[in-house]
Amino acid sequence: MKTYEVNFDGLVGPTHNYSGLSYGNVASESHGHQASNPKEAALQGLKKMKALHDMGFKQGILLPHERPDMQTLRALGFEGSEREMLLQAGKEAPAILAAVSSASAMWTANAATVSPSADTRDGRVHFTPANLTAKFHRSIEHPTTGRILKAIFRDETHFAHHPALPGQGHFGDEGAANHTRFCAAYGEPGVELFVYGRSAFDTSKPAPKRYPARQTLEACQAIARLHGLSEEHVVYAQQHPDVIDQGVFHNDVIAVGNGNVLFYHEDAFLDTPAVLNEIEQKLKGALFKAVCVPREAVSVEDAVQSYLFNSQLLWLEDGHMLLVVPHECEENPRVRAYLDQIVSSGGPISAVRVFDLKQSMRNGGGPACLRLRVVLGEDQLAAAAPGVLMCDDLYEKLVSWVEKHYRDHLLPRDLADPSLLDECRTALDELTQITGLGSVYPFQLT
């Protein structure tokens, strides 16, 4: 039976905007309060999905969330009609309104951690939505994320869904952005690498001084337990605290792995030799290839600015890897020179493909942030909801849907506009019909 890596990209939501919400994420902080273009953002994302689908990769979508999140506004004491609540929040608490309006669910690398059935004790694919406790605007994502994942992966004989970890800093979990799986082939047992920024209980471990470390060791361990992963197939690695302080807020900003390849920056981990050695030991049956990018060639600052490592590493038919990078990599001369050299080096990465994802990049989200990887066997893929799997027809429908419903200019002050909420709900209602997912949004459930 064939097994595939299916990339589920987040479809950018109609409220995509720049509110400077993510302290420690340099792009989000520096673009805060500029005008965004939600229509362009959604179309840029769709273009990437379609191009990868056309190249023969399996591609799916995850749906945007209902925003502004009126339930959260109500829970925070805003009262009256929805119109009144929005106007009051816009006037008295614009920062709260921005948080409950963020389209941040688009970065589906943070949606969940997924363990394929070849790795789990009960032979099912396990999903745990990330609690995203580090940022308020992201901590409200997991209930809808969980409903969407359950609606797509319904069949309990194949799929197991866990609730998000307790929503508390001790178990801060950012999902697949800090999780990488290595294997000889997708259908074979792999090694799951969990990367954390700090420990909640072990004070002997160093922590960053300037920016927050979002993921804890204890969250990683809890996910491994919940998913029924065995010790011999798990590696925990601490991210170097100094790189977090330079803006590396997730491991996927400094390293990416797939199959038997890890592409990483020299400064990514606290103890690199130990991490590489443990992956190599545990990855029996596959020749582990670690491609290190030296700081002399690409500095951490270059990596954060260009998002070189926030790339997708995709297995080509001939066994080599394709690196899918954002356009910003071409604009940085050192990164561009490095990429030119790597494809001609005879190493595991043989091709590079560049995408314009500027709208998402300005909030710190590159190609890898925009996708959640789900390894599925043929039978599991057949059991998934077909309406979210990319095909020519779905692509055309989604492009027309975006053209019809999305604005091409949005400022944080527009978030209080009650017609934006209506537009968002009308669009999402139609989207659940296009994808055949049924009711997943609070406004459809009440």
Q: Catalytic residue at 369?
A: yes
CB of residue 412 vs ligand SUG: minimum separation in angstroms? 8
What CA–CA distance (Å, rounded) separates 293 from 365? Answer: 21
Residue closer to ligand SUG by CB (options 9, 280) is 9
Closest residue by Cα to residue 175 from 160, 192, 158, 191: 192
Q: Catalytic residue at 391?
A: no
Q: Is 313 exposed, middle or buried (0-12, 13-18, 19+ CB in 10 A)?
A: buried
Q: Catalytic residue at 16?
A: no
Helix (H, G, I), strand (E, B) or coil at 58: strand
Q: Name the residues that contact ligand SUG, by CB under 6 A.
A: 18-22, 25, 28, 32, 102, 104, 107, 109-110, 135, 138, 177, 250, 252-253, 363-365, 369
Burial code (b: 16+ CB inside 10 Å, e: under 16) for 234-249 equals bbbbbbbbebbbbbbb
Residue closer to ligand SUG by CB (options 50, 138) is 138
Q: CB–CB of 260/311 below 8 Å?
A: no
What CA–CA distance (Å, rounded) separates 446 from 434? Answer: 21
Active-site residue (options: 5, 141, 174, 280): 174
Q: What is the secondary structure of 316-381 as a DSSP string? A: -TTS-EEEEEETHHHHSHHHHHHHHHHHTTTSSEEEEEEE--HHHHTTT--TTTTEEEEEEEHHHH
What CA–CA distance (Å, rounded) separates 108 from 61? Answer: 9
What CA–CA distance (Å, rounded) separates 192 from 116? Answer: 10
Catalytic residue positions, numbered:
174, 250, 369
